Structure 1
Amino acid sequence: MKPVRQAALAVHFLTATGAVFAMLALLEAVQQDWRAMFLWLVVAFVVDGVDGPLARKYVVKTNAPEFDGVLMDLIIDYLTYVFIPAYALFGSDLLPGWTGWAAILVITYTSVVYFADTRMKTADNSFSGFPGCWNMAVLVFFATEPSPAVMLPIIVILAALMFVSVKFVHPVRTARWRSVTLPVALVWTLLSAYAAWRNFILPDIIEAGLVLTSIYLLCVGGVQQLIPRSRKSG
């Protein structure tokens, strides 16, 4: 077997580990061990950030075409970005009673429709509409503990933004401002891992950093739409 094919297959198998991390996260969620659940989701998030560049480097569509890496990635993303975080909202005390039911129904239904939308990617490799990153939103909810009166409207707004022509950047693939966006995404990942490790008992500065990096990642794509690209911009 040629080394390049071995590498391409290894990338597929790396992507597939996300399903294992999803199961481990779900098992912790059932036990209401939110700390461990989010730590596994952070691990899955890191794998998701690494496997894409590797897949492009080793041209997996050509060198290991018998496995559909895009389909595999979408299945795992739905579990780790949508399904398990939605369950965490419902299973915790953050959204009690009917608010929890409303949140999980809105999140799971709108997200599966969005994930199946063939128009979800833009020409510059950004996302058209909020890309269903509920794992990030729910982690911030756990860290900041807003009231249901604040949280539920945010969830509804984010769900609606899935179907609006507003851009959301991909930290790795969106070239414009990547020199800023990628470090911000890395900082967010480190802060989120720290927050989960500390069971969301955080110093104010860490909580503020998590909120600010989240706001940047949420809004930078829309800002790019408002600011015309100059000829010299990257």
Structure 2
Amino acid sequence: MQDQQIADRDEFVHDKPMTPHARAIAVHLFTATGAVFAMLSMLAAAEENWSLMFVWLVVAFIVDGFDGPLARRYHVKTQAPEFDGVLLDLIIDYLTYVFIPAFALFQSGLMDGWTGWFAIIVITFGSAMYFADTRMKSKDNSFSGFPGCWNMLVLVIFALQPNFWVSLALVTALAVAMFLPLKFIHPVRTERWRPLNLTMAIAWTFFAGWAAWVDFDPESWAHWGLVVTSLYLVFAGIAQQVIPEKNGGA
């Protein structure tokens, strides 16, 4: 009889669903895995294993794509307020979007000499200020100014390996764009053109992972996919500013 009571109790415990607080904590823990992937990426970068570095950055990018919707679904702000999910996300984003890509751009020699120093100073300093700017989000949940997604630019530079003057021009233009009144879409949260935005973001992630997996083989079709999806993600928000929104639709 006692054994049966213990078995019934264990079955009840195992079948009991997670509490709202436990689910919210699980989301925070999921977000925090991005820090682990950032460290794995940095270790690969320290060994100049650029392909593996970008593979881990893509994994971190995927985590970043899922944790926001999960956080809103499980109301982490109210169910687990003891952890600041926004701050946690920003810390990890600075590592994976800014710090590690800037290091890779400098250490790889793709931007050599004074251009490399210029790039890492502009990228890290400008992004630190942008990430702390309380005006970074617009009313439609897009970004006001280039959102410091340097991981995306640097991966494209690794894939295409353009002339360093082209790389310098791109870094300079996007660094300035962080503080201009230009709109950049959030693929998940920007409602206008959301299906297309999300499709392009998923496609970019696929092409980025593919390019890194084949060690940036110049013959890979992934590079064309990266160019097309990158151009869309950069200019879609600006296009939305130019193209008037129809009443009740995109």
Normalising by structure 2, what TM-score?
A: 0.92
| 2:152 aligned partner | 136
User: Which one-letter code corresponds to 1:220 in the other structure?
Assistant: A
Match of 2:168 among 132, 138, 152: 152
| 1:210 aligned partner | 226
Counterpart of 2:221 in 1: which secondary structure?
helix
Deviates more, 1:85-94 or 1:199-208: 199-208
CA shift, 1:206, in A, is: 2.3
User: Which one-letter code corresponds to 2:41 in the other structure?
Assistant: A
User: Which one-letter code corresponds to 2:240 in the other structure?
Assistant: Q
| 2:36 aligned partner | 20
| 2:112 aligned partner | 96
CA distance in 2, matches of 1:109, 1:93: 20
Match of 1:37 among 53, 56, 61: 53
RMSD: 1.1
- Which structure 2 residues correspond to residues 59-208 of structure 1 after superposition, within 5 A? 59-203=75-219, 205-208=221-224
Q: Deviations over 1:17-59 (max 9, x none)?
A: 1111111100110100001100000000000000000000000
CA shift, 1:203, in A, is: 2.9
CA distance in 1, matches of 2:88, 2:65: 14
Give the total of aligned pairs. Answer: 234
Unaligned runs of 5+ in 2: 1-16
User: Which one-letter code corresponds to 2:123 in the other structure?
Assistant: I
Larger Rg: 2
User: Which one-letter code corresponds to 1:194 in the other structure?
Assistant: W
CA distance in 2, matches of 1:109, 1:138: 17
Q: Deviations over 1:106-133 (max 9, x none)?
A: 1000000000000000000000000000
CA shift, 1:188, in A, is: 0.4
User: Which one-letter code corresponds to 1:161 in the other structure?
Assistant: A
| 1:52 aligned partner | 68
User: Which one-letter code corresponds to 1:214 in the other structure?
Assistant: S
Q: Percent identity?
A: 59
Unaligned runs of 5+ in 1: none
Contact 2:208 2:222 in 1 (8 A): no
Normalising by structure 1, what TM-score?
A: 0.98
CA shift, 1:2, in A, is: 5.4
CA distance in 2, matches of 1:158, 1:188: 18
Contact 1:89 1:138 in 2 (8 A): yes
| 2:12 aligned partner | none
Q: Which runs of 4+ in 1 moved over 2 A?
A: 202-206
Q: Deviations over 1:124-181 (max 9, x none)?
A: 0000000000000000000000111111011011000000000000000000001111
CA distance in 2, matches of 1:172, 1:18: 18
